[in-house]
Amino acid sequence: MEFQFGTNWSYYSHYVGDIFGAPLAIEGLMAFFLESTFVGLFFFGWDRLSKVQHMCVTWLVALGSNLSALWILVANGWMQNPIAADFNFETMRMKW
C-alpha cells in the first residue's frame, strides 16, 4: 500500500505525507515485519518447533495481522475525516 501511494497517488502523498506517513510507516515497520517474520516461522518451523512454540508463533501471527489492520484503519479513518489538520498555503501541504 505504501508503494501504491508513492506511485499512483504521488500528489496526494505530497499533500498529506507529513500526517499520513506516520501510521503507514508504523504499519510497515512494526506490524508487517512482525507478521511476515512469524508467518515464516509458522510454515518453516512446522517440524522444528514444539507444539507450545508453534502455538505462540500462531498467536504472534494473529497479533501482527491485527496490528497491521489497526494502523491501516487509522490511516483510512484519517482520510475519511481529517480532524486536527490544517492546510498551509505557503507550503501547499497539510500540517498538524
Per-10-residue mean pLDDT, the chain, length 96: 72 75 81 88 94 95 89 85 76 71
- What integer pLDDT is reported at residue 24 of this predicted model? 81
**Predicted pLDDT at 91:** 77
Cα-to-chain-centroid distance, residue 7: 17
Question: What's the rounded Cα separation, in Å, for the pair 52 and 50?
Answer: 5
For 59, left (φ over 0), alpha (ψ -120 to 50), or beta? alpha
pLDDT at position 34, please? 87
Q: What pLDDT sits at residue 4?
A: 73
Please, are residues 31 and 5 in contact by the beta-carbon 8 Å criterion?
A: no
Question: 0.85 cut: is pTM over it?
Answer: no
